[in-house]
Structures are given as structure tokens and as C-alpha cells.
Amino acid sequence: MEMQEVTTEGGRKEEDKGVVERTEEVKPGEEAKPYQYARLQGATENVYAEANYAHTNTGDSQKKGKARLYRLACVILTVICLVLLLVVIILSVKLQTGSPACTEGEETFALSKQGALSCSFDQCQALFPKVELKYLGCRQCADGWLTFGRSCFYLSTFRRSWDESQRDCSSRGGSLAVISSPDIQSYLTMKGNVKYWIGLRHNGLTWRWVNNTELGQSYWADFTSDGDCGFLNSGGPPEKNWMKASCQASAYFICQLWTQEH
């Protein structure tokens, strides 16, 4: 009985040692759990820190991008303002200096006939005598007036005597028409459709124009009546359509206004 108890006690002791050992083996494991939790907790904090850092970097990049756009817009606006300022300066200088004086012979006319030709008024008139040329000079013709060469012409729509016609033209700043070239003769014949007084009158000795120049080249018709004042019959050919009539007769008339002294 004693031997069994001893054996039993010895067995229990052995078992108790095993339990103790197992208990001792478990304790280190149980102590390791808080350490592992601490590691996990530290890793989570690192993830949050990295996420915050990445978000901060993204925000900084966006701010830098917007700043670059603002700087570029400022540069573009500055350049536009400088260009506009330069244009204003140039225009103001031109307005202060003014345009050059308009002098005879400086005006040129561009005609197109199988290409562009640039010439002075007199040259173009000599080269193309049948072409209608407009020479405005430094002055424009008023409404209702026709522009040809250096002159403005007014064809009346009512009739007067020769003297009344001359006074009417004088009140308009001109005089009865002086036909000084074949081009003017052809032009007035083409534009008219009735009989018109012109600035030609017989003074008992010679025929003279209203500007007191003696008649040179003429365009008298083959058959004409008697009279001391001349008129242009636009129904006849330009070469021969002048006729004579009494200065007291009523007829339409042509006024002429020179745009430049000639």
C-alpha cells in the first residue's frame, strides 16, 4: 500500500512537473500577445501617416499647378496690354503729324487692263483717253454732282436763260461748264439726255468761255442756228453737237466746279 502511494505520489509529482512545465511554456506565449498587438497597432499608425503624407503632397501639387496657370495668364495679359499701348502710341503719332498736303501731280490712279498699271492722272488720261477717269484731288464732289477729272459737274433738271444759268452756277460755287478736252466733251455728251447751256458766249468778235479764255478746239454741228450763246446737244455725236441759240432762250444747263486750281 505504501509503495503504491509512493508511486502514485511520484506519478503525481511527475504530472505536476509536466503541468508546471506546460504552464511555464504557455506563459511566454501569453506574454507575446501584447507585443504582437503593439506591432499591429504601430503598423496601422504608419499607414495613416503615409496616407496623410500622400494627400498633403497631392494638395501641394495642385496648388503649384494653379499658381503656374495664374502666372501664365498674367504674362499673356501683360503682353496684350503692351501691344495695345504700342498701337495707341503709333496712332496718336500719326494723328499729330497729319496727312501730307495734297498737291497736283502726286495723286495716282490704278487701272486694270491685263494687269495693274499705276500712273499719274495726266499719264493715265493720255494712255487711256476713252476710259472714264476720276480725279478727286483734295476735295469731294457734293451730292448730285458728277465727278470727272479735276472737276465736278452738275446737270440741271430745270431750264433757265443763259445769264440765269450762269448765276445759278455761281451760287453753287462754280460756273457754266468749260469744255477744255475731248474727254470732257464725250463725258458730258454721254451723261446728258437733253440740250444744255455751256459756258460759251460770243462777244461780237470771238467766242470765249466764262473764264475769259478764247475758244480753241470746238465741236460745232454742221447745221446750227444763229445766236450768241452756245449749248451742247447730247443727242448728237460728241464730235459735232454744239449749237448756237439766243441767250434769252430757256434751256437746261451744266455747271462745273473745279476741285483744284488748274
pTM of the complete model = 0.48
Please write the tens of the pLDDT for every residue from 77-113.
Answer: 999 999 999 999 998 887 776 544 444 444 444 444 4
Higher pLDDT residue, 224 or 32?
A: 224
Q: Is the dihedral of CA 239, 240, 245, 251 positive or negative?
A: negative
Determine contact, residues 119/109, Cβ cutoff 8 Å.
Answer: yes
Asked if pLDDT for residue 259 goes beyond 60, the answer is: yes
Lowest mean pLDDT among 103-107, 197-201, 228-232: 103-107
Q: Convert the pLDDT of each residue in 14-28 to its tens digit.
A: 555 554 455 445 455
Class of domain 133-258: alpha beta
Integer Rg of the chain from CA: 56
Residue 252 DSSP SS3: strand
C-alpha cell of residue 189 = 455728251
* Better-scored residue on pLDDT, 23 or 60: 60
Pair type for strands 252-258 and 175-176: antiparallel
144 has a pLDDT exceeding 50: yes
Say what the pLDDT of residue 116 is.
41
On whether the CB atoms of residues 131 and 137 are closer than 8 A, the answer is no
**What string of H, E and C letters represents the secondary structure of 223-248?**
CCCCCCEEEEECCCCCCCCEEEECCC
Q: What pLDDT shows up at residue 6?
A: 44
Domain ranges of the chain: 1-98, 133-258
Grid cell 493715265 in the structure block, residue:
124
- The CB density around residue 74, as the number of other CB atoms within 10 Å, is 10
- 18-27, 81-90, 136-145, 239-248: lowest mean pLDDT where? 18-27
Core vs surface per residue 188-222: b (16+ CB within 10 A) or e = bbeebeebbbbbbbbeeeebebbeeeebeeebeee
Is the pLDDT score of 63 beyond 70?
A: yes
Percent of the chain scored above 70 by pLDDT?
Answer: 60
130 pLDDT above the threshold of 80 = no
CB atoms within 10 A of CB 138: 12
Is the dihedral angle over the CA atoms 191, 194, 200, 206 positive or is it negative? Answer: positive
Cell numbers representing residue 146 in the block: 458728277
Model confidence at 74: pLDDT above 70: yes
pLDDT number for residue 65: 81
Q: What is the pLDDT of residue 133?
A: 47
